Structure 1
């Protein structure tokens, strides 16, 4: 993931990141954001979004918007990489990805509970009622 705008130039109203999902990449556990909208624009490939209990395959040029409180996740189930732009309004959640990067850069494994704990710092929780 590459952070293109961290909110520092938008008065913290908007952050934007680019993500490359390798083939057969599972996404995060299904979760809800309490305080921000999240948008995904698929630049190339296909990304499978799960919203609640429904799956949607989004191809190149598809925009997916997730309002606060909506359970969601995403994955790349295909044999090709997928690239997408993500927006965070306001910018709160972009720090979550920096925290994950620190864990990975340190060589520590990313454990599911540690990921959930990190999400909780940014008004996000697992959608446990759907698992």
Structure 2
């Protein structure tokens, strides 16, 4: 089973996660067979390690971690690889891949430009 974890920073306000929940629903609409989860760096649950553990517990064979950040900063360069290294040690049979930062994809930048110009 393929698992996708949409990984974001997190916030104290639970309303902050609504767009991420909508993104999860949009991914599921296109890939209903996938296990799509949210995970957060801080303030919200589940954490990235907890989401990976949960994906493994339901039988995922591979996990794609998608950083839902606008740009690759210190968290994505330093913190996430360390978390994934630990997760790989806990789940050696699980293939875990870190995807590129979502906000740096040209199609995402183009979509944001269209919204800016439409406003």
- TM-score relative to the length of structure 2: 0.29
- TM-score relative to the length of structure 1: 0.28
Higher RCO, 1 vs 2 (CA within 8 Å, ≥6 residues apart): 1
The structure whose residues are more often strand, as a share, is 1
The structure whose residues are more often helix, as a share, is 2
